[in-house]
Amino acid sequence: AYGIVAAGFGADIVVEADLGLYDYAALVPVVEGAGGIMTDWYGRRLTLENHERSKGRVVACANEMLHEEAIGILGEIWSESESGSEGARKSTISSVVKEGFWYLALGIGIGIALAKPRK
């Protein structure tokens, strides 16, 4: 999926959670080298030093506008899931899972709306 974002062949965004450093570290220079943006859900750069803070929550986008929209949504979800008690976290995570299709549809819609052929 990250290769497709980097190559510009139709996928404009990839969002994942709970990745290990070994899952994404080699992909960051590939996506960024192709002109994409790859950060955690708060928009922080993915580095060896901040992996623990990022908790493996990764977003890769083909362009800056889409990235800003995505981290706006994802940062809000992350904040909600980390506030409150353990029960509140489980409830928030459960609601995120239930609404997962909504976020997927929203991401696809944003990607289609912002999609531009690359040269």
Task: Tell me what pLDDT residue 39 has.
Answer: 94
Please check whether residue 96 is in contact with residue 77, taking contact to mean a CB–CB distance below 8 angstroms. Answer: yes
Q: State how beta strands 58-61 and 13-16 pair.
A: antiparallel
Task: Tell me what pLDDT residue 85 has.
Answer: 47
Task: Tell me what pLDDT residue 115 has.
Answer: 65
Q: Which CATH architecture has domain 2-114?
A: 3-Layer(aba) Sandwich (3.40)
Task: Tell me what pLDDT residue 58 has.
Answer: 92
The owner of tokens 């353990």 is: 86
Q: Residue 100 in 3-state DSSP?
A: helix
Task: Tell me what pLDDT residue 8 has.
Answer: 72
Q: Residue 81 in 3-state DSSP?
A: helix
Rounded to 5°, the CA angle 75-5-31 comes to 80
**Mean pLDDT for back-to-back runs of 10 residues, the chain (119 residues):** 74 86 90 92 89 88 90 79 54 52 62 62
d(CA 86, CA 41): 21
Q: Which amino acid is at 14?
A: V
Helix (H) or strand (E) holding 77: helix 64-82
Which of 42, 37, 47, 46 is closest to 67 using CA atoms? 37
The annotated binding site for Mg(2+) is made up of 23
State if pTM tops 0.85.
no
